[in-house]
Amino acid sequence: QSALTQPASVSGSPGQSITISCTGTSSDVGGYNYVSWYQQHPGKAPKLMIYKVTDRPSGVSDRFSGSKSGNTASLTISGLQAEDEADYYCLSYTVSGTVIFGGGTKLTVL
């Protein structure tokens, strides 16, 4: 069970938008609308940002949005802010009844 594929790093300037991709297979990302995204700052526990592909938990900024096409899910952050600099991970539930993370993406706000 290999990790979902994410770019190792992305960057953007304050105010810009960035998109992080998460590619899996028809047995995970493509199989269900059960993709979630997590933000992790150094030394902190992960925080849920998006669940079920597009839903945002209460309290999460609407600058964060999710989407999916086929076997690839995406997280878009609009109006980048310095506080968005963190590691981001996607997660998918699988048709075999397990869960798998992406390899993680380091977001740098220039």
Partner 1 sequence: EVQLVQSGAEVKQPGESLQISCKVSGYNFFRYWIGWVRQMPGKGLEWMGIIYPGDSDTRYSPSFQGQVTISADKSISTAYLQWSSLRASDTAMYYCARDPGWGDGFDYWGQGTLVSVSS
Residues that bind partner 1 (CB under 8 A): 1, 3, 32-34, 36, 38, 40, 45-48, 50-52, 57, 87, 89, 91, 93, 97-104
Q: How far is the CB of 14 from partner 1 (least distance, A)?
A: 26
19, 82 in Cβ contact below 8 A? Answer: no
DSSP states along 87-108:
EEEEEEE-TTS-EEEB--EEEE
β-bridge mates for residue 88, sequence order: 39, 105
Nearer residue to partner 1 within complex by CB, 15 or 55: 55
Q: Supply the minimum distance, in Å, between the C-beta of residue 97 and partner 1.
A: 6
Any idea what DSSP says for residue 2?
Answer: P
Least distance between partner 1 and beta carbon 9 (Å): 13
Give the pairing type, strands 47-50 and 9-12.
unpaired
| Comparison of 21 and 101: residue with beta carbon closer to partner 1 | 101
Smallest distance, Å, CB 88 to partner 1?
A: 10
Q: Is 82 helix (H, G, I), strand (E, B) or coil?
A: helix
C-beta of 60 vs 63, nearer to partner 1: 60
